[in-house]
Amino acid sequence: MIAKISSGKDTAGLIRYLFDTKKAKDHSDPHLVASWDGFAPDPGRTDDFTATKRLLVADLDLRVKQARRLGRAPERHVWHCSLRAATTDRHLSDEEWANIARRVVAATGIAPQDDPDGCRWVAVRHAPDHIHIAATKVRGDLSTARHWNDYLTADRELAAIEKEYGLFQVARGDRTAAKRPTRAEQEKAHRQGRDKPARERLRTIVRTAVAATTSTDEFIRLLSHTDGVLVEIVYFPSGDVRGYKVASEDTTTAGRQPIWFSGSELAPDLSFPKIRARLEATDPQPVDGPGRRRPNPWHRATAAAERIPHHLSGYDDRASQAHLAAFGEALDVLPLLAPAPIRAQLREAASAFERATRSRVQAEHHHASALRSAARAMLREPAPGDGTALAMLLDAAILVTVAAIRWHQLRHHDQQVTAAQQTLLHLQAAYDEAAGAPLTALVQHRPSQQAVNRYMRHIRRALPEHAEQVLSDPAIDALTAALAEAEALGHSPERLLKQAADQRALHDASSPARTLTWRMQRITARHATNGRGRARSGAESRRTPQLPRTSVHKATAVSPPPPRGRRP
């Protein structure tokens, strides 16, 4: 059950709307189900609607008028709360809705239980699945009701009501979610033919810019050169950067002024100080040196991701939160690098997991610097064309998401659990598409049946706990082919299997044979010697990644103000 609470100035206007049956099509049978004293006049159950409505408004406003004569009435004296059940819930009776309304006004401080001076209120039901509570905020002693944090107190009471009445239990938040687009923003996006409002599109662009850069200077530079984004940098009097604002041309008002969003308005973790803290916790990029080859960033990212489930099973919640945030940044990067057929799924996965990267736990970002550094390096070294590196990373990402679901569940982070579950569906779809070609190519080199039987014996000896599950896995042909390739390169099959299994547990893997295959491929690729040079110019290795282009006005940046005491 969901509550929406607002304040207003017009009692008569609210009552008129609640009992209207002409303009509002879903107002089929408006009537009172409860009131402050149980005897309020009901315009929905009388022949003289207009006169009864006036009586109801006068009764509700009585104390407001008395307080106004003393100069003590609040300007926005109307309190409006709508309560809506889930579409899957049964239809509650009028008596049940009346009891729910009494509990909500008591919990929020509008009309505390057994308080004779509580505010006057009525509960109107005009549709089967919801009611509206209309109240005036002046108490019997002519003081203003103390209803601070009314949304939170109502939400807590509704959570208890859901359990008692056997209703659908809504995933409760912890006030760390990004602000949702307003109805006006959604309607504007619909008129413009856009699938998302400007707030959500800008949030995605800024998150991608954070995931693609290694310093605040690079972040500002990249954001300022992104087509479709207007950027304004806010400075302290000293000239240091204080924050930033972003806008897009389609958010301009009638006066052609852009509608700006600060970073914190886009999402709690996109304020400039929090972005700076994340970027400062990024490992420096490894460089080539004499006789030393820079490690493959895709293998580094996969190895770092495979360690996350282990970190999430520990006792350091701040480190765990940091790993989840870094994993979210890696997901933000993947749509820029993946082939076209799976980009949409990866964008949806990144968008969904965004909610799972935040909680009330304060992240200590230095714990996840390795994954953050690897994700940024991936932008400068695209994955090989055969898709193996991407499939490896997606396989590890699925295990991370399963571990994230469990971590949030243990801490009762309901919204984060739902977000991670949605992420898992998109990642699994992307993995199935990405892994098809490399697995098919690998199976084509399947060894002889005699060699397969020998590898099966190796599997039983090396993995006694998982042997039957691995051998019955449909991907066993790919695993035996990978073992054959590794053995041809001089690796011991049993030792390699143990090494791959020891990296992380296989309990969460939906296909342990595929997971072992990718791990062995990465191990053998890491140890294999490669004579091909990978030298590239310094300019190319430091090139600035490009964010997705949009059809909006070119970005602009505001110059910093001159230092105080000097003329510009």
Q: What is the pLDDT of residue 256?
A: 67
Q: What percent of the chain has pLDDT over 90?
A: 63
Q: What is the pLDDT of residue 398?
A: 93
Residues 371-389 pLDDT 10s = 999 999 998 887 777 788 9
In angstroms, what CA-CA distances link 234 with 81, 272, 273, 481, 491?
Answer: 38, 10, 12, 57, 57
**How would you classify the pairing of strands 130-136 and 121-127?**
antiparallel
Q: What is the pLDDT of residue 565?
A: 43
Residues 497-537 pLDDT 10s = 998 888 666 777 788 898 899 888 888 876 653 333 333 33
How far is the C-alpha of 418 from the C-alpha of 409, rounded, in Å? 10
Q: Which candidate, 328, 294, 299, 318, places its Cα nearest to that of 526?
A: 299
Structure tokens at 487: 């053995």
Check: CB of residue 394 under 8 Å from CB of residue 434: yes
Q: What is the pLDDT of residue 478?
A: 92
Check: CB of residue 142 under 8 Å from CB of residue 179: no
Q: What is the pLDDT of residue 502?
A: 80
Q: What is the pLDDT of residue 540?
A: 38
Alpha-helix runs per DSSP H in 166-267: 183-191, 198-212, 216-224, 263-266
> Which stretches of the chain score pLDDT less than 70?
24-25, 250-256, 285-293, 503-505, 526-568
Q: What is the pLDDT of residue 249?
A: 73
